[in-house]
Structure 1
Amino acid sequence: MNKKVVIIGGGYGGLRAIEHLAMRADIDVTLIDKHHYHYLQTEAYGYIAGRFDLHDVVIDLQDWCSGFKKKVAFVNESALCVDFESQKVKICSGEIAYDYLIIATGAKTNFFSFIEGLREHSFGVKNLHRAHNFRVEFENLIYKKLQNEDDAQEINLAIGGAGLSGVEVAAEMANVVAVYKKTLGSRVNSIKIHLIDASKTILPGMSDFLIKSTHKRLESLGVNILTDAFIQKMDDTTIYFKNANPLQYHFMIFTGGIKASEFNETIDTQKNKISQFIPNEMLNIGGKKNVFAIGDCVEIRDAEQNILPPTAQTAERSAEYVADSIHKKIDKQPLKPFDAKVLGVFIALGGRWASGELFGFIKVKGYSAYLLKKAITYAYYIGLRLRINTGYKNRIKNP
């Protein structure tokens, strides 16, 4: 009898695990997700700035799963909780039994409660709905400039958090504004982009090369970089700092932190301060050797106990490891502890410009880095699209 693998969450980690598990004839996979789409969060910067369209950042999960020819079932419901003793995942319509369970529920924007008004007055990029709302607001702002409305009024757009997502959003928005200057002229000069972070530098924790090259690019785009800036509170018009003058703003995107999804709270096991699971060296949680957690919902460390960044790359490496572990368990082979490194980082910095590092010693910036990042993203995207096309045809043949 085939082994049943249930995966909760259709993000980068969940989909990569499916790709590796569905290759075996003796494994049946069920994917559970409350959304009917996979959201390419790494491309959010381009979507909210209007350079990418919706079809560039979402993938239909039903058609994608159908592309595996009945090896993968998709359940479009919320996972409510897990009964580890009976080995079942409870959903709204019933229960789904598993032999192996992979939790890949991701994370959400952590709108820090100690910053008064932050959640009420800012947008996040982890959620497609919030990203879409900001895109609409940004496009309306450009439209008003086109109509010559409030032509002289200064428009301040704020990005809270100067990590990877924050700098990409700031750069892309600033580049879009620069492009519009070619057609709208001085009308858009009053649109200012402000990148805010409490750290002493942008991209905290990254290499000097990435920090310096990114900083220089942002300055060339006219981004106002505010580091060592602690946001105290905000209302619908003003951001107040602990150590600087207030900033009048129109829109605010917050990328300053993440927190594991609510599903983590349904499981009584060790977690860190942002509710991520703390697994063992095999990425098991809850003391169960057949239950794994991958991606942003779990605190993942390498062999030297360094915490890996919550990126798509980390999610995919952990997914590949867990899929291989399940293969080995089925074949009764010994397992090795998880160990993965960050192979490279590429940062999209507006238009055809990027900065990146590979293997810690290959450093590129400018157009060449843009081409490398685009190639990596395109390879991932086209793989999903080919699977969707196959799945769509399968569904038409077997209605």
Structure 2
Amino acid sequence: MQQEHIVILGGGYGGLRAVEHLAGDPRFRITLIDRHPYHYLQTEAYGYIAGRFDIHDITIDLANWCRGFGRHVAFKQAEITGVDPEAKEVVLEHERIPYDSLIVATGARTNFFAFIKGLRENSYGVKNLQRAFAFRQTFEQLVYTKVEETRDPEPAELQIAIGGAGLSGVEIAAEMADVIEKHHKTLGTNAKKIRITLIDAADTILPGMSSYIVNRTAKRLESLGIRILTNAFIDRVEDGAIHLKDGTALSYRFMIFTGGIIANTLQSDVPLETNRLGQIVPDAYLRLSPHMNVYAVGDCVELKDAKGNLLPPTAQTAEKSAEYVAASIRKRLNGDPVSPFHAKVDGVFVALGGRYAVGELFGIIRVSGYTAYLLKKLITKGYYLGLKLRINTGFKKRTEA
């Protein structure tokens, strides 16, 4: 039987979910391509940055993971330079890979807005592992600096600024503040002189989320001593100072920016419609028309619900779009009709430091505190366990080969 070759670009949440939902069909041969040899669990970045998790808790080896499915699933580490839809080939640095169906899942990166002078030069993002690693090192250095100041009777405050009070910014701020709060007895009281400020241009933290999530989160952040500035528009960033449009200047030692994303783009011989975030605007079936065998999933594509509302660029949304595309490819081969993509957010959990979280499921189930933490942990552990089991299988196959 001639197998259809499906090439998937990107080893993020969408790319991996597409592999999982296609690998069980013997009609497919799958190649996953990524510039990095690992899958980065971005949803756990907050814990890694604050020192709660280690590097092995947030990375998965893609070669061993793919090998765990069998010989019909392969991983290739390479820089993707473009796509040639007419020739039905993916263009890499030194070769071309032919495909029958292509799934673009290249994700997104931090959008350091060009209109904010000095933002890119003076702040960090956490959309990739390298920046998260640098951020963790810097945070640990700041804590160490405060621990060393034990002889200073009046230690100066050390300011950490976080631009963007969306999900990533809030979770990172809460986790860092919780680490400082819980360990100041052993680290020394000077460690509590590290102050964290959240800055957002919106009129609320977590814009777009329910009032329950927003209110419970705000109370938790305030209890952790985090300063929240909303309706605060950053005009420019200098080394050591953030200038707001209202003339206010905020001093800082270290700044992280989580205030927006921009899609990772691909060079293509066919012009693609994109939105202001650089995301591909697909047809109703997540196809990049007129090339019906090319699809896009995850953060690199504009996704909408049944009412036409934009869906947030989350791991949950990426996985739902990947599941839909995988099912669509199978239906196409079977000759079955395919319905347009319609998805919705089932729920959201916000990790708020230590064993505390806030969550909402299906718009009706609301939990906070330790219960929400356990539910979020259960979801995360289930995902991670599935990856680890597949890796163990792949590693065993490699050693036996």
TM-score (norm. length: structure 1):
0.98
Query: 1:57-111 CA deviation, whole Å, 9 max, x = no partner?
Result: 1100011011011121111001111111111111112111111000000000000
State the SS of the aligned residue for 2:266. helix
Deviation of residue 330 (structure 1)? 1.0
Contact 2:83 2:267 (8 Å CA) reproduced: no
State the SS of the aligned residue for 1:263. coil
Residue aligning to 1:65: 66
Map 1:118-133 → 2, pairs under 5 A: 118-133=119-134
Deviation of residue 3 (structure 1)? 0.5
Deviation of residue 332 (structure 1)? 1.2
Alpha-carbon distance in 1 for matches of 2:357, 2:345? 18
Residue aligning to 1:200: 203
Alpha-carbon distance in 1 for matches of 2:213, 2:256? 22
Contact 1:144 1:150 (8 Å CA) reproduced: no
Alpha-carbon distance in 2 for matches of 1:344, 1:287? 34
Residue aligning to 1:260: 263
Query: 1:155-202 CA deviation, whole Å, 9 max, x = no partner?
Result: 000110000111001100110110221213421121000000011110
State the SS of the aligned residue for 2:170. helix
Contact 2:283 2:289 (8 Å CA) reproduced: no
Contact 1:165 1:255 (8 Å CA) reproduced: yes
AA matched with 1:343: D
Alpha-carbon distance in 1 for matches of 2:270, 2:298? 17
Deviation of residue 19 (structure 1)? 0.3
Measured at CA, do residues 201 and 267 of structure 1 come closer, stay the same or move farther in structure 2, by a change above 3 Å?
farther
Residue aligning to 1:139: 140
For 1:370, which of 363, 370, 373 is the aligned residue?
A: 373
Alpha-carbon distance in 2 for matches of 1:193, 1:144? 16
Contact 1:8 1:105 (8 Å CA) reproduced: yes
Residue aligning to 2:6: 5
Deviation of residue 244 (structure 1)? 4.8
- Taking every aligned residue pair, what percent have the same amino acid on both sides? 57
Residue aligning to 1:107: 108
Map 1:237-248 → 2, pairs under 5 A: 237-248=240-251
Alpha-carbon distance in 2 for matches of 1:46, 1:264? 35
Alpha-carbon distance in 1 for matches of 2:97, 2:187? 56
Query: 1:101-136 CA deviation, whole Å, 9 max, x = no partner?
Result: 000000000000000100001000101111110100
AA matched with 1:146: V
Alpha-carbon distance in 1 for matches of 2:25, 2:80? 25
Measured at CA, do residues 108 and 266 of structure 1 come closer, stay the same or move farther in structure 2, by a change above 3 Å?
farther
Contact 2:150 2:188 (8 Å CA) reproduced: no
Contact 2:159 2:195 (8 Å CA) reproduced: yes
Residue aligning to 2:179: 176
Residue aligning to 1:117: 118
Alpha-carbon distance in 1 for matches of 2:268, 2:132? 25
**2:341 counterpart of 1:338:** yes
Contact 1:105 1:261 (8 Å CA) reproduced: yes
Q: Which is further off, 137-146 or 313-322?
A: 137-146
Map 1:161-310 → 2, pairs under 5 A: 161-263=164-266, 268-310=271-313
Deviation of residue 149 (structure 1)? 6.8
Which stretches in structure 2 are left out of the alignment for 5+ residues?
A: none
Alpha-carbon distance in 1 for matches of 2:5, 2:124? 39
TM-score (norm. length: structure 2):
0.97
Contact 1:156 1:248 (8 Å CA) reproduced: yes
Alpha-carbon distance in 1 for matches of 2:247, 2:132? 28
Alpha-carbon distance in 1 for matches of 2:270, 2:385? 36
Contact 1:264 1:275 (8 Å CA) reproduced: no
Residue aligning to 1:323: 326
Deviation of residue 54 (structure 1)? 0.4
Deviation of residue 267 (structure 1)? 5.5
State the SS of the aligned residue for 1:305. coil
Which stretches in structure 1 are left out of the alignment for 5+ residues?
A: none
